[in-house]
Amino acid sequence: MFVIGEKLNSSNAQVKAALESRNWDCISRLALRQQQAGAQALDLNAGAFGKQESELLAGMIRAVPAEVTIPLCIDSAKLRVMEALAETCASRSLILNSATMDPASLEPVTELAIQLKARLVVLALVKGRPLADEQDLGQRLEELARRLEVHGLPRERVWVDPVVLPLAFYPEDITRMLTMLERIRAEGFLSICGLSNVSYQMPRRRALHRALLPCMMERGLDAVILDPMDRVLMEIAQASEALFSEGEGVAEYIRTMR
């Protein structure tokens, strides 16, 4: 399981306040703490700031200290924002998060990922809506495979996100999302999800994260954006890896839990 730390997000009140005041020390500390907690990449998001998004993301990237050596996940739906950060990110390993399955989004972001030697997250969205039909997803993934081959982007550098919707508003959607995860694996693609989306506007959010993650991993989830400083959640991730990875995660579980 590849863990991407979620804490450097402008929807987080602490981060939003730090960005408003240009408190880059706060950003640096959060970056380092997440790596120390076990994150294998860091998600960076400044989407709450509209026209200032590019400027603030650039500041966040510069604030990540040199001792943080893990990849940075540039979390923006805007191609121009990702393009504007290319020079700032020149010395970093990157993940572009994200494109959708609409060709107008997928084509240019794929080209940028190739240019930057970055990994790519593709949301299973068409015209702003999550794919709900398993057969439709299968056809879209076949088309995605063809496009990646044309561009020369290896499939192992791409994660497909079935999109986790908020439980408070879409209580029936968990079944769809888990089914899509299984289909993504069946089609030979890697999968990723943003775990915290499920608990938006719900009480005791961590309980929902801890309950859902093993269900997703059992269905083949490969990468997840979550809070690595939730120690219980990280232990659940390691335990689930041991249980569902057909033996691959057992030795690591024993090593870290003793």
Say what the pLDDT of residue 251 is: 85
Contact 47, 75 (CB under 8 A): yes
If one counts every other C-beta atom within 10 angstroms of the C-beta of residue 122, the result is 27
pLDDT digits (tens, 9 = 90+) for 12-25: 999 999 999 999 99
Residue 225 has pLDDT above 90, yes or no: yes
Q: What percent of the chain has pLDDT over 70?
A: 100
pLDDT digits (tens, 9 = 90+) for 117-172: 999 999 999 999 999 999 999 999 999 999 999 999 999 999 999 999 999 999 99
Backbone φ and ψ of 94, nearest 5°: -125, 155
For the chain, which domains are there? Answer: 77-257 (3.20.20.20)
SS3 at position 138: helix
